[in-house]
Amino acid sequence: MNLILNILWMLTGGLWLSLGWMLAACLMALSIIGLPWVRSAMVMAAYSLMPFGLQARVRADVPSPETGMGILVNAGNILWLVLAGWWLALGHLIAAVLNAVTIIGLPFAWAHLKLAGFALQPVGRTLVAR
């Protein structure tokens, strides 16, 4: 079922928004200042390409060798919001509104809304299987 939902997701805006996340990662990689956000943007590109079957979680809540970075996460999320987070969140909001027009698109609209919230604070988060 997740495979079918992910294929439909790509057709309803997921592919384009995933490319937007990859563009943001590439732009961040061009500057020394943006290097800390490249990993978060690539994780979000994968998540926005195939969100069904995955769940975004705070790294500190997931048992792994990678844990959160403390106060740097908050500073990183504020800078991310100013540099790239607002326009990616806006893209997900627009896609959510377009998907919510039809009954079939409602699950995809809900997924876009979750991704819009996540686009505002991606630093310090990771993906886990649902």
pLDDT score recorded for residue 69: 60
Percent with pLDDT over 90 in the chain: 11
Supply the pLDDT for residue 101.
93
Contacts of 58 (CB under 8 A, 6+ apart): 68, 124, 125, 126
Structurally, the chain folds into a number of domains equal to 1
Using the 8-state DSSP alphabet, how is residue 69 labeled? -
pLDDT of 114 reads 86
Residues 52-57, mean pLDDT to the nearest whole number: 80
pTM comes to 0.78
Residue that wins the pLDDT comparison between 91 and 124 = 91
The range of the structural domain enclosing residue 20 comes to 2-129
